Amino acid sequence: MKIRRSVTMEDIARMAHVSKPTVSRALRNSPLVTPETRKLVMDLAQKHGYVVNRNAQKLRQSRSDTIAVVLDFKSHRENRISDPFIFNLLAGVSEALGQREQDLLLCAPGHAEIESLSAIIASRGADGIIFLGEGERRPDFVDLAALGVPFVVWGSVEQDQSYCAVGSDNFHGGFLAGQHLLDRGRSRFLFVGDSRFHEISQRRQGLVAALAKSDKPTHLSDLIMDGFSYASTLEAARAMIESDKATVPDAVFAASDTAAMALISALGDAGLSVPGDVSVVGYNNIPGAEYFSPPLTTIGQDVHMAGALLVEKLMLHIEGRAPASTMLDTRLIVRESS
């Protein structure tokens, strides 16, 4: 089996003493072809290392069997985000696509403008798009949906959304965290996370809702920070603890496990113990949360299913059906940090 450059379907047809359409059918297991013919053709193809030219195929079929996945690496790298959550999500998507024999075109941030995005589809480079994380692109989604581009988003799910999204029930997640911390008898809350991100903001709202139900007085402050990297969290936390010793919180809800870990470090440096002085709850249940010291109480969801769902819905969309958004169940995983 050697790679040559010019074995075409025509060549195989000639060698098998049949026509091109027959070869085409044989290779695709069409029932319109005799088993003998099929075998003959396949053996010949194998022998000569012939593989169908995907580009010709795609051109003819006006279908690419390719899905574009948009992942904002850049902001990840710049923020030095080490949150493996998105990576696991990507893995789930990758696997689900593989099962459906769809190729995965990974798109860098350069492609993030709406023009290039719809161009991906218009140029038949991909049949649909999966956005992993909505970042600050929400307005674009509305436009994109209006253009009829088939896509799904991992992000926040809302009423009357003009596009299909799959996401964690962020509000409920925040609510669970709040409830849990109240159960622990805490009252001075700190929320850690960049609320400019919609998903994060919803988690915060869930927390607020839980606090509102409390019959004891509670206090909530925010750790203002830019992005949500481990480093920036750590710095912000240190600065806060330093400047404001009096109002150090006794409960922290961090919008990501990574941020929670950073927080715990900062608290430790300041001589505060977790969970002794402060209870901390994270988000995402990343692999590693379990093994952190102390093991992290966190909000978890089924990432792997998320990937499969995103793919399933996108395929429906491509087939012309309008898939509904789904909010993934979210659960509290109690460990030792709270």
Partner DNA sequence: TTTATAAATGAAATGCATTTCAAAAAAATA
Partner DNA sequence: TATTTTTTTGAAATGCATTTCATTTATAAA
What are the residues binding DNA (CB under 7 A)?
5-6, 8-10, 17-22, 24-25, 27-28, 31-34, 37, 50, 52-53, 56-57, 59-62
Picked from DNA, its own copies, none, the partner binding residue 287 (CB below 5 to 8 A depending on kind) is: its own copies
- Using CB under 8 A as the binding rule, the residues of this chain from 261 to 280 that contact its own copies are 261-262, 265, 268
Q: Could you tell me the sign of the dihedral formed by the alpha carbons of 159, 181, 305, 293, in that order?
A: positive
| Rg of the chain (C-alpha set) | 26
| DSSP-derived 3-state class of residue 15 | helix
Name 298's bridge partners: 282, 333
DSSP state of 247: G
122 contributes a contact to its own copies by CB under 8 A: yes
- Report the alpha-carbon distance of residue 177 to residue 169 in Å, rounded: 12
Beta-carbon-side half-sphere exposure of residue 240 (alpha carbons within 13 Å): 20
| Amino acid at residue number 93 | V
74 binds, among its own copies, DNA, none (CB under 5 to 8 A by kind): its own copies
Say whether residue 53 binds its own copies (CB under 8 A).
yes
The three-class DSSP label of residue 106 is strand
Can residue 226 be called a binding residue for its own copies (CB under 8 A)?
no
- Residue in 43, 95, 277, 319 binding its own copies, rule: CB under 8 A: 95
Identify which of residues 157 and 286 has a Cβ nearer to its own copies in the complex.
Answer: 286
Tell me the two tokens of residue 189: 């809350």
**Closest to 261 in 3D by CA, of 226, 237, 292, 290:** 292
d(CA 228, CA 207): 18
Burial (CB count <10 Å: 0-12, 13-18, 19+), residue 276: exposed
For residue 300, the 8-state DSSP code is E
Does 296 contact its own copies by CB under 8 A? no
Our CB check for its own copies shows the closer of 55 and 159 to be 55
234 binds its own copies (CB under 8 A): yes
- Closest approach, Cβ 32 to DNA, in A, equals 4
Q: Which is closer to DNA, CB of 50 or CB of 131? A: 50
Provide, rounded to whole angstroms, the least separation between the CB of residue 262 and its own copies. Answer: 6
Taking every pair of Cα atoms in the chain, the longest distance, rounded to a whole number of angstroms, is 88
Question: Contacting its own copies (CB under 8 A), which of 39, 80, 196, 213?
Answer: 80
From the list 9-17, 119-127, 200-208, 274-282, the region that binds its own copies by CB under 8 A is 119-127
Q: Which does 81 bind (CB under 5 to 8 A by kind): DNA, its own copies, none?
A: its own copies
Contact call for residue 142 and its own copies (CB under 8 A): no
Packing angle of the helix pair 35-47, 20-27 (nearest 10 deg)? 90
Write out the two tokens for 306: 């998320």
Q: Which residues contact its own copies (rule: CB under 8 A)?
A: 1-3, 5, 49-56, 58-59, 62, 64, 69, 73-74, 76-77, 80-82, 84, 87-88, 90-91, 94-95, 97-98, 103-111, 115, 118-119, 121-125, 147-149, 229-231, 234, 258, 261-262, 265, 268, 286-288, 290-293, 304
